[in-house]
């Protein structure tokens, strides 16, 4: 297991999920009815979450404010399994929080609370850094320009890490990259590289020029630029290479850069070549941009995407993989046969998704459906039913279960909300004791697989 040390700006990503049905009479703005909210690690915390999802042993160095947000960030670090090697509290500093309001999976507003002045605790970090570094294979610097990674701190961390013959990877910020001199590589995107080098990068020749400039101007081992849908460009001192991104619809680019940094760091620490590391990072980015908000990519998702041209099939996971999907997110679970997918199903699943961050659907196998409904069912095979559910935008994961009830699945997942149909009102719900709460959702009258089958039989 790679041991990776992350140094950078920790933040709180605060999401408020709601719905909107009217415009305010006070001003031309949406009136949002809050359905739920969640808090997760942001900033370099998103790099940490990605590393944890990949299975890395992850340590953290950062500085927070001595405030409630800072205490919540520290708690989230503990809960996700990261080791707070040196997370200092600075009096008078505001811990960073980004509050986002999401309506129908679209961000409509962001409110930031933060301090951006340089920290006053750099010397304390530098003094303790060599001893901490002994326990790690590689260092990742995640710079969000909030004051932690000052010129002095970056210079010293890179020097100490190189002297220890270890790699240091940097996600840079700002126009002046001089403080990153001597790092193994930087991961700017096209726009960031353009600003740093003061030249518009619009074609292959200008990108090659930029890759070479980054490597030579800042004493890097590799020149690297992320190019969005065009993938990642690399200059290793001899050759220029471009690694194509996986062609897929981009839903939300939030956190994709963090996923690239984390995956590159994990792979290089684990002995991958730079070419293998970049190809894997491209896959991780493809997973992440298909999700809402800051997200991470697990090895199961990366491998599924690698082996399938149909990216949505990555959503079909095994029960053993459930433990990798939570990471502080609000999990919604529901289950069913979903034999002939119809509008009633889609409406029900959309409403369930709006209750939280991740919707997991437990799907009865063919055997369990026969036990419940008779030998004539299901109409569609379990693989077809799983693929159709996975193709829905509102469904994040599909898990097949062969038991007569989803009890073991719910026990393993421990969802925040267990969703059932409104016909369960007043009834005992299987697995309720392992869920945070049970929510009931109304079905659309007349919409059911049984009714569809009867209609087809009557018309034949």
Query: Distance (Å, rounded) from C-alpha 425 to C-alpha 443?
Result: 12
Binding-site residues for ATP? 189-192
Query: Distance (Å, rounded) from C-alpha 11 to C-alpha 9?
Result: 6
69-78 core/surface letters (b: 16 or more CB in 10 A; e: else):
bbebbbebbe
Is 24 buried (19+), middle (13-18) or exposed (0-12) by CB count in 10 A? exposed
- The reply to whether 258 belongs to the active site is yes
Give the residue from 151, 201, 210 showing the smallest Cα distance to 176: 151
Crossing angle of the two packed helices 256-269 and 44-54, in degrees rounded to 10: 50
Catalytic residue among 258, 296, 339, 396: 258
From the CB of residue 356, how many other CB atoms can be counted at a distance below 10 Å? 25
Report the catalytic residues. 258
């Amino acid at each position: 297991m790679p041991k990776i040390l992350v140094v950078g700006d920790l933040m709180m990503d605060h999401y408020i999920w709601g719905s909107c049905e009217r415009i305010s009479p006070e001003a031309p703005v949406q009136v949002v009815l809050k359905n739920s909210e969640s808090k997760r690690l942001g900033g370099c915390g998103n790099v940490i979450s990605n590393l944890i999802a990949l299975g890395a042993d992850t340590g953290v160095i950062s500085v927070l404010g001595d405030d409630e947000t800072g205490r919540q960030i520290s708690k989230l670090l503990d809960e996700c399994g990261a080791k707070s090697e040196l997370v200092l509290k600075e009096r008078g500093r505001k811990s960073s929080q980004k509050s986002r309001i999401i309506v129908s999976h679209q961000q409509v507003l962001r409110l930031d609370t933060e301090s951006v002045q340089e920290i006053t605790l750099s010397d304390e970090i530098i003094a303790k850094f060599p001893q901490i570094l002994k326990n790690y294979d590689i260092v990742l610097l995640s710079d969000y320009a909030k004051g932690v990674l000052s010129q002095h701190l970056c210079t010293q961390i890179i020097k100490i890490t190189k002297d220890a013959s270890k790699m240091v990877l940097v996600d840079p910020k700002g126009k002046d990259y001089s403080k990153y001199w001597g790092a193994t590589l930087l991961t700017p995107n096209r726009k960031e590289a353009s600003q740093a080098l003061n030249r518009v990068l619009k074609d292959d020749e200008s990108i090659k020029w930029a890759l070479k400039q980054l490597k030579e101007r800042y004493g890097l081992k590799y020149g690297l630029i992320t190019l969005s849908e065009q993938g990642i460009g690399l200059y290793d001192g001899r050759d220029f290479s471009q690694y194509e991104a996986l062609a897929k619809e981009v839903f939300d680019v939030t956190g994709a850069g963090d996923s690239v940094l984390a995956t590159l760091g994990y792979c290089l620490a684990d002995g991958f070549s730079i070419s293998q590391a970049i190809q894997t990072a491209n896959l991780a980015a493809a997973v992440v941009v298909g999700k809402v908000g800051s997200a991470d990519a697990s090895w199961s998702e990366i491998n599924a995407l690698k082996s399938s041209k149909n990216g949505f099939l990555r959503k079909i996971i095994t029960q053993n993989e459930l433990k990798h999907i939570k990471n502080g997110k609000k999990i919604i679970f529901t289950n069913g046969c979903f034999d002939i997918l119809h509008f009633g199903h889609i409406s029900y699943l959309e409403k369930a998704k709006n209750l939280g961050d991740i919707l997991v659907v437990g799907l009865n196998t063919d055997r369990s459906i026969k036990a419940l409904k008779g030998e004539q069912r299901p109409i569609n095979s379990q693989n077809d039913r799983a693929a159709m559910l996975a193709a829905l935008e509102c469904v994040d994961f599909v898990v097949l279960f062969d038991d007569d009830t989803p009890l073991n699945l719910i026990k393993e997942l421990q969802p925040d909300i267990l969703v059932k149909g409104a016909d369960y009102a007043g009834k005992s719900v299987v697995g309720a004791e392992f869920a945070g709460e049970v929510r009931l959702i109304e079905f659309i009258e007349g919409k059911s697989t049984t009714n569809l089958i009867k209609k087809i039989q009557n018309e034949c």
